């Protein structure tokens, strides 16, 4: 039991991403309201962002701006230890992924508006009923 | 070093920008701009193909940054072929679809062209790129534009179909992104060739396995492999004709290309077929997709929906063929990407012509079409024969490779499914032919616009000339690609696989 707890605590951010992802997936599959599904979708995408941000993190490291890059020229400035800096690449990738998810969210919202204008409802079962009537 | 690999993607990108800008000044300008940019792109892709055949793989470094840091466009024989396919189909479709766009999305024609061009940019980028994360971004560009374009269709149903497509598409893309994350954790690289160089040093790594399965799952959702296909039929049925004509042949095929690229270039066939024991299960999945797609197509009463289910069926061919684990199967799968794109394009071109004249393509409305639209129906029949797999057309040859591969691998169920699906397709299309040819005119409701009743002469009422000419070109291509399929296999596919 203690082993499991220590396993969870040591990598809690990864466990959290899986939990968040499953919450999002559940909402997307099981919720009846389209806006709730959208919220689920956003949670799902955010979970992946958390995952990527976790990849880049290192204990005790700082932001990737090289120390003493200005001012001290010469030999002592040349040594850069990668372990002192967190990995910026996953974070940069996530900037792109955030843009993508915002764009997706915008398109989905626009679609919801269109659906609401046409049917006056966003409940999926009502929509299905209205569609089968036609 | 020439810049064709960049031009072929930047031309439609700038085209989209200027087409949007021009629409502010004069709405009519956006169509010729879109057409010119796609023509440029097609020209560049043909040039790239020539160069690749002559000198081997082209490496194009974006902004001069060397891989693995920079993003590289790596175009080998497989890419180059698919690039030509994508750009030329997109160009021909735009040529054919002017009237359809005017008819269906008249008030939003300019935005349609802009989104259309961005969609093509995404597809071309997915095919050209050599970087795993870049691939994700481009898949999302493709998907986002296709959600908006689907929503431009049928005013009642398209927004909901598009939203369902969006939900599933997001799940697919996110799984792919997650898979890339796992690959990045273990290799520290995103460049495909670089990753491929590192992976063999990590035998038995479960991180690689998880990454591979997540990527594969994401791509399968995007390509609508059988249990993950639910978004496809509605999305393609309610999309505007001009868009369903291009998304049906290209989107799923490009995703099959991505799968094959991941299998061959990134993870390596040895890892997939020797280390993992998935191939048998995936071939079964392909088999089920074929049979299920066929049966669902039989159950449809609407021509557009029936054709959409045929796509689900065809995806089974390619996935199953690629996972047979021998050269014949892989050859068949790659050849089928080309052939299926052409056949589906021809079918949907003909379908678009029919939709242009009779709005609703329920089977009951199709009677008398052979008399009314003989040229369109001639193209439709040829494309149908190709789907069924009648010899001189190209559909026969890829199916032949697939069946040979299935026998070599001992996957008799897959071979049986291929044959059964040929039968099902024959039944499907002859049912349509029967209605179009023999059913007495006037039992549908759509003919109240024709001349008074009792008129025994069926008036010929054909689609726009541009559509017909394009359909003629594609029909010719169906036969030419069939006749020269040996050349394609020997100059492109086999050198790529060896």
What is the spatial distance between Cα B52 and Cα A12, in angstroms, rounded to a whole number? Answer: 49
User: Smallest Cα–Cα separation from B97: which of B224, B233, B248?
Assistant: B248
Record the tokens describing residue B215, joined without a space. Answer: 């990527």
Which chain B residues touch A103 with a CB distance below 8 Å?
140, 144
Question: Given pLDDT bands bounded at 50, 70 and 90, which one contains residue B447?
Answer: very low
Picking from B111, B163, B210 by the largest number of A CB atoms within 10 A of its own CB, the best residue to mutate is: B163
What is the spatial distance between Cα B273 and Cα A3, in angstroms, rounded to a whole number? Answer: 36
Question: Given pLDDT bands bounded at 50, 70 and 90, which one contains residue B462?
Answer: confident
Residues 6 or more apart from B17 whose CB is under 8 A from it? none
Give Cα separations from B485 to B228, B332, B382, B493 (angstroms): 31, 11, 17, 10
Q: Which pLDDT belongs to residue B97? A: 85
Q: Which pLDDT belongs to residue B441? A: 59
Which chain B residues touch A108 with a CB distance below 8 Å?
147, 163, 166-167
- Contact between residue B169 and residue B222 where contact means Cβ atoms under 8 Å apart: yes
- Contact between residue B355 and residue B382 where contact means Cβ atoms under 8 Å apart: no
Question: Given pLDDT bands bounded at 50, 70 and 90, which one contains residue B89?
Answer: very high
Question: Given pLDDT bands bounded at 50, 70 and 90, which one contains residue A13?
Answer: confident
Beta-bridged to residue B362, according to DSSP, are B302
- Contact between residue B296 and residue B113 where contact means Cβ atoms under 8 Å apart: no
User: How near does any CA of chain B get to the CA of A68, in Å?
Assistant: 24
First-to-final CA distance of chain B: 26
Question: Given pLDDT bands bounded at 50, 70 and 90, which one contains residue B39?
Answer: very high
Q: Kindly calculate the radius of gyration of chain B based on its CA atoms and give it in whole angstroms.
A: 22
What would the mean pLDDT of B459-473 be, rounded to a whole number?
A: 83
Q: Which pLDDT belongs to residue B205? A: 84
* Whether residue B291 has pLDDT greater than 80: yes
8 Å CB contact of B166 and A96: no
* Whether residue B245 has pLDDT greater than 50: yes
- Contact between residue B344 and residue B293 where contact means Cβ atoms under 8 Å apart: no
Q: pLDDT tens, A62-115? A: 888 877 666 555 555 567 777 788 888 888 899 999 999 999 999 999 999 999
What is the spatial distance between Cα B158 and Cα B161, in angstroms, rounded to a whole number? Answer: 5
Question: Given pLDDT bands bounded at 50, 70 and 90, which one contains residue B442?
Answer: low
The DSSP-derived string for B143-180 is HHHHHHHHHTS-TTTHHHHHHHHHHHHHHHHHHHHHHH
Q: Which pLDDT belongs to residue B454? A: 47
Question: Given pLDDT bands bounded at 50, 70 and 90, which one contains residue B260?
Answer: very high
Record the tokens describing residue B11, joined without a space. Answer: 């031309």
List, in sequence order, the alpha helices (H) in B323-393. 327-357, 369-372, 374-388
What are the backbone angles phi and psi of residue B346, rounded to the nearest 5°? Answer: -60, -45
Q: Where are the domains of chain B?
A: 322-498
Establish if A17 touches chain B: CB-CB under 8 angstroms. Answer: no
Q: pLDDT tens, B322-369? A: 998 888 889 999 999 999 999 999 999 998 888 888 877 788 877 777
User: Smallest Cα–Cα separation from B364: which of B461, B437, B460, B445?
Assistant: B445
- Contact between residue B75 and residue B124 where contact means Cβ atoms under 8 Å apart: no
List, in sequence order, the alpha helices (H) in B358-439. 369-372, 374-388, 394-409, 412-437
* Whether residue B255 has pLDDT greater than 90: yes
Give Cα separations from B210 to A47, A54, A55, B180, B181 (angstroms): 17, 17, 16, 10, 10
What would the mean pLDDT of B413-439 be, rounded to a whole number?
A: 88
User: Smallest Cα–Cα separation from B223: which of B195, B203, B199, B253?
Assistant: B253
Q: Which pLDDT belongs to residue B26? A: 83
Q: Which pLDDT belongs to residue A71? A: 59
What is the spatial distance between Cα B438 and Cα B6, in angstroms, rounded to a whole number? Answer: 52
* Whether residue B204 has pLDDT greater than 50: yes
pTM: 0.91
* Whether residue B192 has pLDDT greater than 80: yes
What is the spatial distance between Cα B62 and Cα B263, in angstroms, rounded to a whole number? Answer: 25
Q: What percent of chain A has pLDDT over 90?
A: 39
What is the spatial distance between Cα B114 and Cα B100, in angstroms, rounded to a whole number? Answer: 16
From chain B, which residues contact A within 8 Å (Cβ)?
133, 136-137, 140, 144, 147-148, 151, 155-157, 159-160, 162-163, 166-167, 170-171, 173-174, 177-178, 181, 184-185
Q: Which pLDDT belongs to residue B487? A: 86
Q: Which domains does chain A have, with CATH numbers?
A: 2-66+88-133 (1.10.287.3510)
Which 3 state secondary structure label does DSSP give A132?
Answer: helix
Question: Given pLDDT bands bounded at 50, 70 and 90, which one contains residue B444?
Answer: very low
Q: What percent of chain B has pLDDT over 70?
A: 96
- Contact between residue B60 and residue B66 where contact means Cβ atoms under 8 Å apart: no
CB atoms within 10 A of CB B392: 13
User: Smallest Cα–Cα separation from B481: which of B403, B396, B418?
Assistant: B396
What would the mean pLDDT of B296-300 be, rounded to a whole number?
A: 88
């Amino acid at each position: 039991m203690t082993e499991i707890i220590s396993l969870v605590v040591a990598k809690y951010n990864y466990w959290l991403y899986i939990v968040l992802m499953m919450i999002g997936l559940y909402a997307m599959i099981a919720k009846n309201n389209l806006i709730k599904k959208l919220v689920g979708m956003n949670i799902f995408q955010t979970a992946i962002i958390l995952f990527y941000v976790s990849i880049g993190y290192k204990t005790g490291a700082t932001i990737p701006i090289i120390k003493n890059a200005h001012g001290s020229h010469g030999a002592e400035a040349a040594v850069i230890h990668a372990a002192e800096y967190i990995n910026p690449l996953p974070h940069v990738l996530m900037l792109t992924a955030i843009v993508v998810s915002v764009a997706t969210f915008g398109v989905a919202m626009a679609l919801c508006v269109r659906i609401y204008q046409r049917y006056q409802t966003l409940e999926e079962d009502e929509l299905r009923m209205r569609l089968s009537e036609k | 070093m020439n810049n064709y690999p960049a031009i072929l993607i930047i031309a439609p990108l700038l085209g989209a920008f200027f087409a949007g800008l021009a629409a502010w000044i004069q709405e009519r300008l956006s169509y010729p701009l879109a057409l010119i940019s796609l023509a440029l792109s097609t020209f560049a892709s043909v040039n790239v193909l020539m160069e690749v055949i002559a000198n081997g793989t082209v490496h194009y470094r974006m902004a001069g940054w060397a891989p693995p840091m920079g993003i590289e466009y790596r175009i080998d024989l497989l890419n180059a072929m698919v690039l030509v396919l994508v750009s030329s189909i997109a160009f021909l479709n735009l040529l054919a679809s002017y009237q359809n766009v005017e008819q269906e999305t008249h008030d939003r024609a300019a935005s349609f062209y802009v989104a259309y061009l961005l969609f093509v940019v995404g597809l071309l980028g997915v095919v050209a790129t050599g970087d795993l994360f870049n691939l994700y971004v481009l898949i999302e560009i493709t998907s986002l534009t296709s959600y908006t374009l689907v929503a431009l269709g049928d005013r009642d149903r398209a927004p909901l179909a598009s939203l369902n497509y969006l939900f599933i598409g997001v799940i697919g893309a996110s799984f792919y992104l997650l898979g890339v994350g796992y690959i990045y954790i273990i290799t520290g690289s995103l460049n495909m060739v670089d990753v491929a160089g590192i992976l063999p040093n990590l035998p038995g790594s479960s991180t690689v396995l998880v990454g591979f399965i997540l990527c594969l799952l994401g791509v399968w959702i995007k390509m609508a492999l059988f249990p993950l296909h639910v978004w496809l039929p509605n999305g393609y049925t309610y999309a505007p004709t001009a868009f369903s004509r291009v998304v049906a042949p290209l989107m799923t095929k490009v995703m099959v290309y991505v799968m094959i690229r991941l299998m061959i270039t990134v993870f390596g066939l040895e890892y997939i077929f020797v280390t993992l024991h998935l191939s048998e299960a995936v071939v079964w999945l392909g088999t089920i997709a074929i049979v299920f797609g066929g049966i669902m197509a039989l159950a449809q009463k609407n021509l557009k929906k029936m054709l959409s289910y045929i796509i689900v069926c065809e995806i089974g061919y390619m996935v199953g063929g690629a996972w047979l684990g021998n050269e014949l199967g892989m050859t068949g799968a790659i050849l089928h990407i080309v052939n299926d794109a052409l056949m589906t394009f021809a079918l949907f071109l003909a379908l678009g012509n029919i939709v242009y004249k009779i709005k609703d393509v329920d089977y009951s409305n199709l009677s008398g079409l052979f008399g009314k639209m003989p040229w369109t129906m001639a193209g439709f029949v040829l494309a149908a024969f190709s789907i069924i797999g009648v010899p001189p057309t190209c559909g026969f040859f890829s199916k032949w490779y697939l069946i040979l591969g299935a026998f070599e691998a001992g996957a008799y169920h897959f071979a049986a499914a291929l044959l059964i699906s040929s039968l099902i397709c024959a039944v499907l299309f002859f049912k349509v032919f029967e209605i179009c040819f023999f059913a007495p005119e006037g039992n549908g409701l759509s003919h109240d616009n024709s001349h008074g009743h009792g008129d025994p002469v069926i008036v010929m009422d054909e689609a726009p000339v541009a559509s017909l000419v394009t359909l003629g070109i594609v029909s010719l291509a169906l036969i030419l690609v069939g006749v020269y399929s040996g050349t394609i296999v020997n100059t492109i596919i086999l050198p790529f696989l060896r």
